[in-house]
Amino acid sequence: MESSNKKVKGVQVDPYTRCQHYHSDIDIIAIKFYCCKEYYACYYCHKEKANHREEKWPRELWNEQAILCGNCDHELTINEYIEASECPSCRHRFNEKCSNHYPLYFDF
């Protein structure tokens, strides 16, 4: 999927960044992984497609844009994403259960 000149990698990624693992209407974000600076649809997609181990974003870099809204292509910083329940640009709701996975992506 091409999105604002950013390729979102993963398994069966659709135009809204949903993948084989997470594909509900509200699973619309992709995450730029700290280790490779590449967008993936989810943690499992990175595990299946990347040829390296994932690394978590250090807290001091949470002001970097690392979240892509699959609905409108707006990029959010990690801090913005953690505080948001929806995209600040298009107002599409995010999956609130994604917060359970923050420790996989972000160093708390």
- Tens-digit pLDDT string for the chain (108 aa): 444 446 999 999 999 999 999 999 999 999 999 999 999 999 999 999 999 999 999 999 999 999 999 999 999 999 999 999 999 999 999 999 999 999 999 999
Cα-Cα-Cα-Cα dihedral sign, residues 100, 51, 25, 58: positive
Q: Are 15 and 1 in contact (CB under 8 A)?
A: yes
Predicted TM-score (pTM) of this structure: 0.93
pLDDT at 59: 98
CA–CA dist 80, 91 (Å, integer): 13
pLDDT at 6: 64
CA–CA dist 11, 44 (Å, integer): 9
Residue 64: what residue type? E
- Residue 64's beta-bridge partner residues? none
